[in-house]
Structure 1
Amino acid sequence: MVHRGELTDQQWEQIKPLLPQGGRQGGQWRDHRQVINGIVWQARTGAPWRDVPDRYGPWKTLHERLRRWSADGTWERIFEHVKTTVQAGEDGLDDAVYEVAVDSTVTRAHQHAAGARK
């Protein structure tokens, strides 16, 4: 069952070749697709890592993979590929409308946090 916000089969086939193969010595990595879906869920919801649903695997695994792939350029390769694919019109979204949502939430600091007189 595919949940909202998870990779479709078409999306997965496009980015699968861009991901590192294998895992650490002596171990096998958790399914990349499952991990990416978990990372996307956390980014989309803004929930703490510990609250990521169990179906995506241990939160520590997701966080470690995010950190590792950020450091080795994997995410950059994925985003560049997606950008190039969309710009070339190869994604089947020629007539789609693209939206960008910017959250402008402002949280006021407590008066003591701002250095006010105590």
Structure 2
Amino acid sequence: MNTKLHAITDQNGPPLSFFMTAGQVRDYTGAAALLDSLPAAQWMLAERGYDADWFRDALKGAGPTFGG
């Protein structure tokens, strides 16, 4: 059994919010769970598991902080 920890951190690294899933669950499950917790930001650093059209569209729809 393994797990994945999906986290939102500030620019210095301390966690602001996190969500745990089973290891075999796709990354977009964690992304969807944390989407409403994202703070206002000018940029985002994420691994490629979060690179999906629906996620980019959701960020664009979030307003000017994410290029919307």
TM-score norm. by structure 2 comes to 0.31
Q: Which has the higher helix share?
A: 1
Structure ID, larger Rg: 1
The higher relative CO (CA closer than 8 Å, separation ≥ 6) is in 2
Normalization by structure 1: what TM-score?
A: 0.23
